[in-house]
Structure 1
């Protein structure tokens, strides 16, 4: 990394003056000072959370650390007891991991494609963790959504656009579509809801957990307009409703959008292949529907 210009050296001194008085500024490496001087995001983040600098010094960011995101986040969520706590932990985790990703990029510790992979993996980790925590909370409140045979029904999330293609950047919003496999009703709750009601409420809570600004910021801006019928359509659709839409009304560009989609379901969930034929384009070009 090139030496700091006089202007950036002056900016670094401003950053250093804002750190806690007991923070060992003199022990910071030239690389750390460079990153903080270059990146307002990193600067503001470590001023708010000085301990993150110590973690960066003890454990430098690595290209493959995205493989640990799920375990790291689950460890944080173990003590969460309400949605406010969930929202706070999601925001802090996202910000800390973004600092590590930006740090690695600024110091050329990773290639550009590895940065995109980390950013996309981080988004997937946060979305799935939020969904799973809220699914469990909603099941406690209203019972578990089941089909006619009593099999539990999951919420499937389709990640579209840059997210689905693994090309998310630092400022990207996320395009999502929500679906569930089969109709039915909840079982074991204080009062019964049909699956459409359950998953609509779950979807609303998930969007709030990710999108609503708090004193800790937000996780991601969530865009649901790529779902069938856009803003005027249901927030969550069954697989059968998705199939009907894409077969009868879906335009080619909507089907082609599925090329870049990623899908995340719990282990026992039916896969999008259950309704794969609804994603086939009307033209002769073939589209892969493998998850």
Structure 2
């Protein structure tokens, strides 16, 4: 592994890895450390409402993968899940973390699942949204995302993805509108048209079926049970029941936490307390 160099920019810790400055932040107290991986647009903000519930129990590490948010948007080499996985290993080195629990969701799940399979010696435990492969439906969504950003602006991407995941009764409620106002700011801060297509292309052919079989650490599948995907026949491959079922066929020796009434991959946003209580209790149980 290449040795990272540390620097600071505007008071934020960064590590330089293969020509790119990668942002990360560590806060909170408690063991084991807990590394969080959000989706490509919300990244650390996917867990913003979880931090008050997590930091009293765990030292948490947040980070932005190259091409996104506060990390460099350089394209000196193609983006890939494998590149992001190795970037995370370098960030853990810089933060002085040898082994970590890892909580991944949304498109960040592909990074977390692959990391757990590639670096078993660095894993304490894995909490994951069970998204293991990208099919034609999701490839079309990724392609549409780029066009929406190009034609209507990056802020409108938040509406696209909220419409895919959140049920209509939530999306058009007062809480849904509040979410939309919050999310569009995060998309504008973390996504840029210069790298968006390259970031989305990195996910286009992901299939982690073989990696799931190689995960050795204790694993918790965590997702909300309420999603627009559950009611859309064309999106069956990403529905709650299908995601759980397909993962369990490959690897059955896992625990499950289904957050009632919470958006599938947005459960840590719509019901952060319930999500965090499930995660903290499960990790504590591993220590007993």
Specify the structure having the higher radius of gyration (Cα): 1
Q: Settle same-fold status: TM greater than 0.5.
A: no
Which structure is higher in RCO with an 8 Å CA cutoff and minimum separation 6? 2
Report which of the two has the higher share of strand: 2
TM range (shorter): under 0.3
Higher normalized helix content (fraction of residues): 1
Structure-1-length-normalised TM-score? 0.27
